[in-house]
Chain A
């Protein structure tokens, strides 16, 4: 071992706290990145596996609009040229008291058509392999046993069922027993995973349970090599389209793209904090060793050797931190994946996953990122160490002098970066990568201006501190500036951390406030009725017509609106199509961004005009008067846009169509939810009880007051932001650890200086005062800087990131609590960080501290 290495090792080991904090910083950053990545990957993989398992080996699919595909077209499609095989599919959702908390996908198939498509059904997989594994069942039983179901062996076991038992499912508000005639246990792991939430049924049974007469969900096709034939195109039913298999899966997966990217960006923020931390710690360890390094240089050690040594240390720290971070990331990921999938379930599509899948690639990516970030962050201090002149090393003032000269330059560079970032943000694009790049540049730019702001604020604070704390106050304030090479990175880190907390806080607060205002406007009816759903934001199934009449017939009911919601998968995205039979009292529910109630509603009621939500208009660049095309049973029809309204319920976008228009183009009488307007002054709660009593036995219907629905919506909102809240907390923890380590190191390094002061008569209490005043000042500076910076961050998050990600306009709300929180957080963080050094310094005897002098 060379002398240099021994010196390096000795340094690391002599400062175990510093080493531990550095490793912790890397580990936390890596853990957050890995955890989010794993959670996202697991949810995506869960979705893809399910989708692919259900789609089977189709090469193409025929899909339709809100109505699905007319079943009478199947025979002609099967006969068309180039169609090697065609399998009709009916899909729908159900839940089961036997499998609580799980959304079940009912997959209705025609076993005679299945062979080439879904080999787990026991068909010929065309590859000479029997992939059905154990099990198998009689086709005759499958088809002729009313409501017969087949489950995967694992699902049956989870539900505690055996063939011969019945799986009770909740569909359309009723509990329906499905005889489980058999289980299948595919040999292939992925298929097994894909089947975990699938209830296989004969297409006829499935259509009766979750479908609509005459309509099926799609037709899976295997086309011969040359692809779609003209003959096939000619027999496609109106309003349907033929697309390569996987298109639909991709489109659906695209729904969560912005959501995923926002989470990923937040996780990178944690990594950036980690980077700050490394930079801080490494800079500090170099500063500590200036004399040693200078000595070594004087002994003939080259610049390259010093550079390699310092970088080598960062590799050690990076490796240990990354390893720890990957392990912690897996643990954290297990917690986050639940939150992520629940949000996807609430807002986008039904998703069940078995747990966290841990692809080695994700772990490797996290580890490499951690290591690379560490080395990158250590590069400036390493270069600095290598540049130490043997003669100058002992003189710290030279270093501080250099730092002070750097301050204006850093600020200028910061301003330039912030400008570039702002320019990026101003580019009118919907590209989120560009937006986040702009955001990060602005953040970094602002961070670079903190040293200058620190100098200004510390000088401004000096008279105040002198007045309150005398000479100790003056010393505390001056030391912040005098030791700028070490205080500035610490303050910058704290500012960034607090400003992110503030920014996210403002963003969430604004979002919530906007949502509350919107809900207050939107929920015009007094009582809402729908079927219980496994998805928070979606009603499941249609209400029985007789029930609608019964409820509307209640003597206190003076008006009603009905809704029929359908997800329509277009070639380039998903939209929510709502057929709305709107009571005039409900018109106030719409707040128009473009158009106005006076012109929009007459057009909506009397012509084919539709109303579209802001996210839809934003995403597709639609304006008032434009036409929006939708597939219908009568073919693809362009609907004129009579108004664009604010909406925060579905970021993929909503099209509101009057019931009259909807019925003209669709063969679907269903109503998914009902809004009831009551007489003025009646007791809403008692009417709700009356209405509930009118629901026939055996039917489960959710009857909610306006207020209950509002509460429910906010609960979903809060749930959605739990992930963000967790990340916000984690980012803060990383930054806090960084600040803690920086401040502690800073104060510990001052032990000699404090020893001199102690020898000159400073009492232990005064040491306490000096140290905490100084860290407190740094905290105050950070807090003061973090508020405007957080505000800028929130501004960008609200008006750029959220708008571009989800398409909606949020109204910014900055409450005093957020500002106070920021100041408090920074102050408390900084003071807490000063406690240990103060405690240690006050206990050390002056002689001990001065031994080296």
Chain B
């Protein structure tokens, strides 16, 4: 991917975020995630421009009153185009910035059999796109995630519209915020600094409307917000990750991810966490506490790129045994930055009791950039 020389502005920006995701970037001049740090809110809800990349990542599963399910993803990526110590190129102009924003909006409609994915790019200037800590707001044009009130982070209002699909959702307080990794330092590659600062709201009750296929539908369900910022994450041998965010109907949430090496093996820095119904955090260590096994694979219609599909996720210490099934096979975001991010159904057992759930899975590093048409 780093070898992609397309002059396409979009893929160029996509490449920026992907390249940094893969760790193949110039890190000089940027802040690094080297050690745990004290988090400070509301400031940390806002942008961290000293780091190369950052995202506000909302996923969720909702249903209409008569049970029609939908999955949604809304992400704003921030990408620094130059280190903070270097002045932006445009001098005193209000357009001058080194902050670029990319937005992804996905909507899965398993009953309708369709998956919608949209992207946007914008410079963080003159109000077109940006991120503010308090009152909290991240936006690209009319795609926005923002606090409803001036003085509290939650509830959040999420709105996005695109050709043939739109979201207007309210996310309210569900469980407390959890710091991922080691006190919020999520180690990705083995080298110091190949890590991110990472916190999440694993359960945010959602209600609002979805517009799809010309219909406006009232929906309710549960969302998940991930916040992560870093300068580099993957180590030299790492190619991508499989990330699971599962909400079980017994009140437990499970986040596990597995970093993949070029040879297909899972990297020991893979990590996970279980969050109790009360919001207590139970760390899971890869190789000891959880296992992920792909049961099937799916080939992209775009170029035949092969993704895993259907998984067995087990946490033996907790006697948790789950089968994870995509609500639609094709939930590939065939955008400038190409990956698979889809709503999943969960079935299985927890301590012998049957359990169901919903969630989101993210698969990166399986496909090259969108083939140029």
Give the interface of A toward B (CB within 8 A).
71-72, 74-75, 78-79, 88, 110-115, 121-124, 128, 130, 132, 135-140, 143-148, 184, 202-205, 207-208, 211, 213-214
Cβ-defined contact, B8 with A143, below 8 A: no
Which of B87, B91, B127, B372 is the one whose CB lies under 8 Å from A205?
B91
Per the 8 Å Cβ criterion, residues 97-132 of B in contact with A are 97-98, 100, 121-123, 125-128
20 A-B pairs besides A71-B126, A132-B7, A144-B81 with CB distance below 8 A are A72-B127, A75-B141, A78-B141, A112-B13, A113-B122, A115-B10, A128-B373, A130-B373, A137-B7, A139-B12, A139-B100, A140-B12, A143-B97, A145-B89, A146-B90, A204-B88, A204-B97, A204-B125, A205-B89, A205-B93
Cβ-defined contact, A205 with B94, below 8 A: no
Question: 1/0 per position for B307-321, CB-CB distance to A under 8 A?
Answer: 000000000000000
Any A CB within 8 A of the CB of B367: no
Cβ-defined contact, B6 with A136, below 8 A: yes
**Chain B: which residue is nearest A209 at the CB level?**
B91
Q: What is the number of residues of chain B that contact chain A, defined by CB distance less than 8 Å?
A: 36
Which of A71, A115, A147 is the one whose CB lies under 8 Å from B94?
A71
Which of B81, B88, B372 is the one whose CB lies under 8 Å from A139?
B81
Given A112-B9, A204-B97: A143 and B81 interface contact (C-beta under 8 Å): yes
Which of A110, A113, A148 is the one whose CB lies under 8 Å from B89?
A148
Cβ-defined contact, B100 with A112, below 8 A: yes
Cα-based distance from A132 to B5 in the complex (angstroms): 13
Cβ-defined contact, A79 with B142, below 8 A: yes
Question: 1/0 per position for B12-23, CB-CB distance to A under 8 A?
Answer: 110010000000
Cα-based distance from A112 to B336 in the complex (angstroms): 13
Cα-based distance from A110 to B5 in the complex (angstroms): 20
Contacts of A88 in B (CB 8 A): 95
Report, nearest first, the 7 A-B pairs whose CB atoms are least far apart: A136-B7, A204-B90, A122-B7, A75-B127, A204-B95, A144-B82, A204-B96
Which of B12, B88, B372 is the one whose CB lies under 8 Å from A144?
B88
Give the interface of B toward A (CB within 8 A).
5-10, 12-13, 16, 81-82, 86-98, 100, 121-123, 125-128, 141-142, 372-373
Identify the interface centre among A128, A132, A143, A146: most chain B CB within 10 Å of its CB.
Answer: A143
Contacts of A205 in B (CB 8 A): 89-91, 93
A171 to chain B, nearest CB (A): 13
**Chain B: which residue is nearest A147 at the CB level?**
B89
**Chain A: which residue is nearest B12 at the CB level?**
A139
Total A-B contacts with CB atoms under 8 angstroms apart: 120
Given A75-B126, A202-B89: A144 and B98 interface contact (C-beta under 8 Å): yes
Cα-based distance from A136 to B5 in the complex (angstroms): 8
Which of B10, B88, B90, B141 is the one whose CB lies under 8 Å from A79?
B141
Contacts of A144 in B (CB 8 A): 81-82, 86, 88-89, 98
Which of B7, B93, B128, B141 is the one whose CB lies under 8 Å from A135?
B7
Contacts of A130 in B (CB 8 A): 8, 372-373
Identify the interface centre among B6, B125, B373: most chain A CB within 10 Å of its CB.
Answer: B125
Contacts of B96 in A (CB 8 A): 204, 208
A712 to chain B, nearest CB (A): 34
Cβ-defined contact, A207 with B93, below 8 A: yes
Cα-based distance from A320 to B122 in the complex (angstroms): 62
Cβ-defined contact, B9 with A123, below 8 A: yes
**Chain B: which residue is nearest A137 at the CB level?**
B7
Cβ-defined contact, A143 with B89, below 8 A: yes
Contacts of B126 in A (CB 8 A): 71-72, 74-75
Cβ-defined contact, B123 with A110, below 8 A: yes
Identify the interface centre among A112, A121, A130, A144: most chain B CB within 10 Å of its CB.
Answer: A112
Ordered by A's residue number, 30 sampled pairs between the chains whose C-beta atoms are within 8 Å are A74-B127, A74-B128, A111-B9, A113-B122, A115-B10, A122-B6, A123-B10, A124-B8, A130-B373, A136-B8, A137-B7, A138-B12, A139-B12, A139-B81, A140-B81, A140-B100, A143-B88, A143-B89, A143-B100, A144-B88, A144-B89, A144-B98, A146-B91, A184-B7, A202-B89, A203-B93, A204-B91, A204-B95, A204-B125, A205-B91
B166 to chain A, nearest CB (A): 12
B350 to chain A, nearest CB (A): 45
Which of A72, A143, A148 is the one whose CB lies under 8 Å from B123?
A143
Cα-based distance from A130 to B95 in the complex (angstroms): 28
Cα-based distance from A75 to B123 in the complex (angstroms): 11
**Chain B: which residue is nearest A128 at the CB level?**
B373
Contacts of A111 in B (CB 8 A): 9
Cβ-defined contact, A208 with B92, below 8 A: yes
Contacts of A115 in B (CB 8 A): 9-10
Contacts of B87 in A (CB 8 A): 146
Contacts of A147 in B (CB 8 A): 89
